[in-house]
Amino acid sequence: MTNDAALSSEAVALADRIGELVASMRSAEAELGAVLVEIEQRGVMELFGYRSAARLLEHLADMPKPATERLIKRARLLNPGRNLDGSPIPALAPATGVAARAGRLSNPMIDVITSVLSQVPPEHCAGAEANLLAFAEEAGHKQVVALGARILAHLVPDGPAPDDTEPTAPTRELFLRRKRTGIWELSGRFDDETGTRAHALLDALAERRTGDEGPDFRTTPQRYGDAFSDAVDLALNSPELPMQAGERAHVMVAVSLNDLKSGVGKATLGDTGTMTAAEARVHACDAMIIPAVLGDKSEPLNLGRLRRLISAGLRRALFLRDRGCAFPGCHRPPRHCQGHHIRHWADGGPTDLTNLVLMCAHHHRLLHRSGWEVRIAADGLPEFLPPVFIDRRRRPRRNNLHEPLPFTA
């Protein structure tokens, strides 16, 4: 057995064990909630002398009171109860309670489902719950949020009115300088209107990443740093960006052909900067970073513009097909995305719809460096194969968050 195979087998075994333990924890918590609801019905004061089941659990389990109250509030929605006169109170989400006691649902998933059902007309609750649970079998709770929003939009249409903000006199200064270490420092002063718009932009781009690769552990400054990089990409890809010397703004990267193909080595970025060849390989898919591919004697072999950059018409076709980042669970819209070559252009991959998929910068990089793979399925849509440690059978996954076109819904 090769070293890689041994590591892969070990990762699968550890992931399976984590899955078993998580299911046991979820099942035990759901069972605990059912017991506490039963205690409430029998009378917690009469049985234990406590004023509430939350106070009882606080002392029995050494848990903070807010945590015990959340647990019991969730349990009341999943289990039937009784009114003071003894009349029964049906559970809001009985089928969800069954799935929770089997250890199949996380607390965020339960909260999503019960939140939707609490707003759905009673006659539609059973059907909505069945749809949400069926979707929950294959999707994360954030994707179920999107399905719940669609259900509510259909059954309980509503929407907030947009806010208007009065502009103020602009005061704008920006300082950007490069240190010898290659790190850039940014500082500035802006009027309230510009600062508010910049904050809104960065706040939107700094949302925690979604997707099937796991939770986002970035700190707030890291998320805002990545958001600023995404904002620069958005601006560089804007068709309204002013021209420089007859061309759209771009940065040139010089890299050897061997390094570009292998992803190992260094590339020269602009006039003075550097980046890894692996990063150059990522950007070579579709960005306003133009790779100058060099031969053994540093002679330019190919600038690659006509060969690998995606045309406006092809980009529009990608927007229509993928509707945003195609990675499972990602909510990023088309304007935040890049075109990824499934078979890299440096390896002879064509720049056409059958070899392209729309991806945000984060998931684009993830695909280049992880065990995830993407392919175009028989129906012409992209699907992703997870690493073995996530799914031993590597069952294909798709992104169901983006609204389909009306005539394909």
pLDDT at position 254: 59
Q: From CA 101, how far away is CA 24, in angstroms rounded? A: 9
| β 373-376/337-341 pair status | unpaired
Boundary-marking domain end, from 264, 284, 309: 309
Question: What is the structure's pLDDT at 376?
Answer: 93
Q: Is 281 inside any structural domain?
A: yes
Asked if residue 21 and residue 122 are part of one domain, the reply reads: yes
Q: In terms of residue numbers, what domain contains 179? A: 173-205
Instruction: For residue 46, tell me if it sits in a domain.
Output: yes
Count of domains forming the chain: 3
Residue 350 falls within a domain, yes or no?
A: no
Query: So what's the pLDDT on residue 246?
Result: 41
Identify whether residues 190 and 262 lie together within a single domain.
no
Query: Is residue 147 located within the same domain as residue 14?
Result: yes
**Residues 151 and 48 occupy one common structural domain:** yes
Enter the tokens of residue 255: 């890299």
Q: How many CB atoms lie within 10 A of CB 211?
A: 26
> What's the confidence (pLDDT) of residue 377?
92
Residue 77 lies in a domain: yes
Q: Is residue 234 part of a domain?
A: no
Note whether 298 and 306 are within 8 A (CB): no
Is residue 7 included in any domain, yes or no?
Answer: yes
Tell the residue number behind the tokens 């719809």, with chain if given. 353
Confirm whether 134 is domain-assigned: yes
148 and 50 fall within a common domain: yes
> pLDDT tens per residue, the chain (409 residues)?
566 666 678 888 999 999 999 999 999 999 999 999 999 988 888 888 888 899 899 989 999 989 999 999 999 999 998 876 778 889 999 999 999 999 999 999 999 999 999 999 999 999 999 999 999 988 888 889 989 989 998 888 754 445 555 544 567 888 888 777 778 788 888 887 778 888 888 888 888 776 666 677 788 888 888 888 888 777 766 666 665 444 444 455 556 556 655 555 666 554 455 666 566 555 555 444 455 555 554 444 444 433 456 777 788 888 888 988 999 888 888 878 888 888 876 677 887 888 889 988 888 887 877 778 999 999 889 999 988 877 888 899 999 888 765 544 4
**182 and 271 fall within a common domain:** no
Residue 303 lies in a domain: yes
Does 177 share its domain with 272? no
Same domain, 13 and 88: yes
